[in-house]
Amino acid sequence: LAPGEFRRQGRMVVDFLANYYENIEKYPVLSQVEPGYLSKRLPSSAPQDEEPMEAILDDVRQHIVPGLTHWQSPNFFAYFQTNTSTAAILGEMLCAGFNVAGFNWVSSPAATELESLVMDWLGKMLELPTPFLFSGNGGGVIEGNTTEAIICTLTAARDRVLRRLGHNSIAKLVVYGSDQTHCSFQKAARVAGIDPQNFRALKTTRSTLFGLSPDTLRKAIRLDIDAGLIPLYLCTTVGTTSSAAVDPLAPLCEVANEFGMWVHVDAAYAGASCICPEYRKFINGFADSFSFNAHKWFLTPLDCCCLWVKDPNALVKSLSTAPEYLKNEATESKQVVDYADWQLSLSRRFRALKLWLVIRSYGVQNLRSHIRNHCRLAKLFEELVEEDCRFEVVFPRYFALVCFRMCPSVVAGMSNGHIVENGHGEAWKLNKVNRFNAQLLRNINASGQVFMSHTMVEGVYVIRFAVGATLVSERHVIMAWKVAQEHANSLLSMPAS
Ligand code: PLP
């Protein structure tokens, strides 16, 4: 790592990325390569001798970029974005440059202390109750992702109960979420050794806007207790993956607290918005842990899941190992945080740097504007959909996600033969409508002009339009809607086959 070469090559990479961002709108948003494309283009064995960075970057340009789906394109509206910023990319550079593995305080004090500081800053920005902050005897940690955050908190909750009841009770522990909870909860429950029979995905309905009803939770808990089982953990969601629905936290926490359960709030997507006072109300409630992915909507690239817990000791009791080769005086003094005891792996990246750079270089007011701007653009898209009576917005919009589809009445009346008819009555209509909307989305995405994604709620196929790219502006949203309309027009006018 000769400083001169590092400077020269580093500038080349920065230039490369700057050009990439300058030209990002020229690429098809959804990659159009075929499976296995790369093995046809790159050698099947590693080079014996060194190769110049120029040649490597040339291959990135020619062979890697075409295989990218351009998540940072302003025309990317799929899934939930994972947006980034200059500050955060530079923060990643510092992180890779220092490359410390701050698993405990002594292994890199700044990595630990900056993380604790930034997590308290962010906790205050979110107005989390004081018991979640270090200053209130709780604390925050940066995990890689929400799945890890749930595995860690679920493991802590599990062990807290099993220490009291004995390990044999593990087969009786029950965990609760809704049918809208992210699948990471199911994975976490499997990893934590919860019997798959004791995993409850409680039904939500349109009448509760796909939020979990406290009555439904209470009934399920009572049934389980009557069957001799032990309610353990409730995973609530603020901003579900399908439709950004919101579980009513305060009443759900009340029910769960009555039964001594651990409540986690998964605000992976929508948590970022809660730095704005107008969205803060969604996270009122007495939970045990709260997480959001700064790598979704907080201008910070993967990976950066911010988790706060009221009882860090519960995490430490479950996840600490303390082998001889890690023993040190700072740990023994009990005056420091050793973050390896708050997460799954031992080694950890200095992720706090990028978050610190983001918060400092934007400031709270600009971060709020970033969120509000995306919500405003989503509202604009929603209005455009509503102006075209052939389309409908399917779910109420809370944040920057619009779920829409071509109306059943338009599709059901069609005589075109491009949708295969396979029956009669309402079910047939629904299938036909779903198939039409799926085809519409395929055509929109195949254009390469924009990328949207889909979901299915209560058997209804909807197209998800999630505003989240750092570079997105009004013109991109208007263009995306035009693309959707054009493809709808051509589908609707296809002759019968
Ligand atoms: N929870 C919610 C509500 C999500 O939307 C997502 C991903 O989109 C996840 C969890 C999974 O997050 P991760 O990939 O960080 O584990």
Model pLDDT, residue 158: 98
Decide if 74 contacts 472 (C-beta within 8 A): yes
Tell me, what's the pLDDT at 285? 80
C-alpha 363 to ligand 1 mean position (Å): 26
Please tell me the distance between residue 327's alpha carbon and the centre of ligand 1 in angstroms: 35
| Rounded distance between C-alpha atoms, residue 42 and residue 447, angstroms | 27
Residues 6+ apart with CB under 8 A from 487: 440, 443, 444, 447
The CATH architecture that domain 101-349 belongs to is 3-Layer(aba) Sandwich (3.40)
The ligand 1 atom nearest the CA atom of 145: 15
Q: Tell me the average pLDDT of the chain.
A: 94
Please give the number of the atom of ligand 1 that sits closest to the Cα of 149. 16
Region 190-217: what's the mean pLDDT? 96
Q: Can you tell me the distance from the alpha carbon of 316 to that of 321, in angstroms, rounded to the nearest whole number?
A: 9
Helices of type H across 303-407: 312-319, 329-333, 352-387
Residue 425, pLDDT > 80, answer no
Cα 69 to ligand 1 centroid, rounded to whole Å: 19
Probe ligand 1: pick from 150, 184, 247, 266, max atoms within 8 Å of CB?
184
Between 420 and 31, whose confidence is greater?
31
CATH class of 360-492: alpha beta
CA-based nearest residue to 367, from 14, 75, 88, 132? 88
3-state secondary structure of 401: strand
pLDDT in tens, 42-93: 999 999 999 999 999 999 999 999 999 999 999 999 999 999 999 999 999 9
Least reliable range by pLDDT among 199-208, 215-224, 280-289, 441-450: 280-289
Q: What is the pLDDT of residues 317-368, one digit of tens each?
A: 999 998 999 999 999 999 999 999 999 999 999 999 999 999 999 999 999 9
Residues contacting ligand 1 via CB (< 6 Å): 80, 145-147, 182, 184, 237, 239-241, 266, 268-269, 293, 305
Number of H helices, E strands in the chain: 16, 11
Among the atoms of ligand 1, which is closest to the Cα of residue 305?
A: 15
- The pLDDT value given to residue 421: 46
Beta carbons of 279 and 304 less than 8 angstroms apart:
no
Minimum-distance ligand 1 atom for the alpha carbon of 241:
5
Which of 185, 241, 246 most suits a substitution to test ligand 1, by most atoms within 8 Å of the C-beta? 241
From residue 302, alpha-carbon distances to 84, 91, 145, 258 in Å are: 8, 12, 8, 37
Q: Has residue 496 got a pLDDT over 80?
A: no
Atom of ligand 1 nearest to the CA of 269: 5
The token duo for 78 is: 């799929």
Tokens of 234: 């409730």
CA of 193 from ligand 1 middle (Å) equals 21
| Res 255 pLDDT > 60 | yes
Helix (H, G, I), strand (E, B) or coil at 192: coil
Residue 62 vs residues 39, 42, 99, 183, 450: alpha-carbon distances, Å: 14, 11, 29, 36, 22
Does residue 391 register a pLDDT over 80? yes
Q: Which residues contact 42 (CB under 8 A, 6 or more apart)?
A: 59, 63
- pTM of full prediction above 0.80: yes
pLDDT value of position 54:
96
- % the chain with pLDDT above 90: 92
Q: Are 140 and 317 in contact (CB under 8 A)?
A: no
pLDDT (0 to 100) of residue 413: 73
Whole-number Å distance, alpha carbon 305 to ligand 1 midpoint, is: 10
- The pLDDT tens digits of the residues spanning 260-283 come to 999 999 999 999 999 999 999 999
Across 144-156, average pLDDT = 97
159 to each of 174, 182, 318, how far by Cα in Å?
Answer: 13, 23, 6
CA distance 160 to 263: 13
Q: Where are the domains of the chain?
A: 101-349, 360-492
CA 125 to ligand 1 centroid distance, Å:
21
DSSP annotation of 308 reads E
Of the candidates 225, 153, 229, 227, which has an alpha carbon nearest to the alpha carbon of residue 195? 229
- Residue 269 CA to ligand 1 center (angstroms) comes to 7
Instruction: Write the CB contacts of 453 (distance below 8 Å, at least 6 apart in sequence).
Output: 78, 79, 441, 463, 464, 466
Question: Which residue, 418, 431, 139, is CA-closest to 290?
Answer: 139
- In 3-state terms the chain splits into helix, strand, coil percentages (rounded to 5) of 55, 15, 35
**Average pLDDT, stretch 369-391?**
97
User: Does 416 have pLDDT greater than 60?
Assistant: no
**Exposed (0-12), middle (13-18) or buried (19+): which is 402, by Cβ within 10 Å?**
buried
Ligand 1 atom closest to the Cα of residue 240 is 3
